[in-house]
Structure formats: structure tokens, C-alpha cells
Amino acid sequence: MNSLWITTWLLAGVFVSALATEDRKLEKRQADECDPSKTDKVMVLPGPITDYAMIENAFVYDLHAVSICMIAQWNPFHVEPSDNQCVFSYAVPGSDNELTLCSYPTSHVLIHGQRRYSQLCGTLTKTSLFHHFCFTWSNTNGDYKFWIDGEVVGSGSDFYKGGMIEKGGTVVIGQDQDEVGGDFDPRQSWIGEVSGINVWGVVLSESDIVAGYQNCHVTLGSVVMWPQLYAKESLHGNVIVYP
């Protein structure tokens, strides 16, 4: 057997082994799939700009740090490359992207119009599994982290360092606000199911975030609490909440 055949055979073995490893990871993830409906309410967002949840005067004090967590299932059949699907939007007068979280084609967060990316949602938008997601930020050094299923998948610093997220704005789930409480763009509608959206005015610890993933449950936030968002008076259009 010549050296070319040996090299080819070895490379093929490495490739097959890598595929098998990824298959095992996927099988484990499917076996451990989170079902938030067992412990909490789930919101179904069909996508049209008439379908969303909204609460006004959502932040009652300025935030110098923030954590936002949720359990979400992106709809893999309604994703176009041009889309910029935004699941969480917080707008104040003069800043329609005071705190905005979008999931496709890349996951990114905007704070006071400044943006940071994490290349994490390419696989998430192609699966029907629920995923536990968190984002944390502090103005001390501008440190931030993206978390997926209990693991850090993106981080950095100098993100809106020394700044603050202003109080008195409006939260919208499922649409991106281009003005406070409205001017939605159908290309930015978020389509899927989401549960446990909560916001805190502190950076959650690693143990708290990992526990949320392991328990398939998000505890109530100190700034925005999930029951506020799925309350009947917060829902608009054909949004469905179950069970």
C-alpha cells in the first residue's frame, strides 16, 4: 500500500470519527431536550407584524448591568438569509435600540445602538429543539457574554463601557421597534416559540445560568418577569400561549 493510499485512508478515518462524534452530541442533545411547557408558559409567535407581546414603562430604573435569559425554539422553516429576526426589543425615546436581541443570521445584541455579534445561531435556526439562551453585560469594563445551553459561546469587553440602559422604555417580544412601541418591519419579525423571558439588573453568576439550563427553567427576573409578558393585556394579534 503506497503512502497516498495510507494518507487517504487515515484522513477518511478521521472524517468518519468526527461525524460520529457530532452524531453522538446531537443524539445526547435530543435525549436531553428541554420542554419548557412542563414547568412554565410558552409563547408562540407566528411572525406577522401584528403578532407580538408588549409592556410599557418596562424598566423602572436605569441599568448599569443586565442579564436576559430565555428558552427558545426558532422555527427552522421560516428563515431567509436577508432576515434579521429580533426576539426582544427595548426602546426609549431617542434610542429605538436601547436593548435589542436578534437571532439571525447571526446572534447579536444592541445596547444604545452599539452592536456585538456571536456566530452561534446558524445551527439553532436549523433545528426544532428548544435552547436555553442568556446574555449578560456590565458597564464597568463593558464585559459581555453570550450563553447557549449553559456554555459561553461568545464574550468580550469594551461594549458600551461606562454607559447605562435608560429607564422608562417599552419592551416588545417578537418584533424590532424602529420607534417606541411600533414601526415594525416584517423582515425582522421573530418566528418560533419562546418561554421564560426574564431580565435582571445584575450579571447572573455562571452557576445560576447553568442551573437554568439544567432545570429547563428560568427564574423570575428583577426588572422584567415572564408573567408580565404573557399576561392577556400584553398580547397582540394571534400570539398563542400554552399550556
CB 154 within 8 A of CB 117: yes
Helix (H) or strand (E) holding 11: helix 3-31
pLDDT confidence bin for 198, thresholds 50/70/90? very high
Give strand pairing partners of 88: 101, 173
Q: How far is CA 19 from CA 13, 22, 30, 71, 77, in A?
A: 10, 5, 16, 28, 25
pLDDT per position as a tens digit, 53-84 = 999 999 999 999 999 999 998 876 665 545 57
User: Which positions ≥6 away from 138 have C-beta within 8 Å?
Assistant: 64, 65, 144, 203
How many angstroms separate the CA atoms of 111 and 97, rounded?
6
The pLDDT score that the predictor gives to residue 24 is 42
How far does Cα 51 stand from its chain's mean position? Answer: 18
CB 142 within 8 A of CB 35: no
Is the model more confident about 76 or about 199? 199
The pLDDT score that the predictor gives to residue 18 is 40
pLDDT at residue 25 greater than cutoff 90: no
Is the model more confident about 84 or about 193? 193
User: Which positions ≥6 away from 233 have C-beta within 8 Å?
Assistant: none
Give strand pairing partners of 67: 136, 200
pLDDT per position as a tens digit, 203-235 = 999 999 999 999 999 999 999 999 999 999 999
Domains of the chain with bracketed CATH:
35-242 (2.60.120.200)
DSSP string, 157-219: S-SSTT--BPSS-EEEESS--SBTTB---GGG---EEEEEEEEESSPPPHHHHHHHHHHT--P
What's the mean pLDDT when you consider all of the chain?
Answer: 82
Percent of residues, the chain, with pLDDT higher than 70? 75
Is the model more confident about 123 or about 234? 234
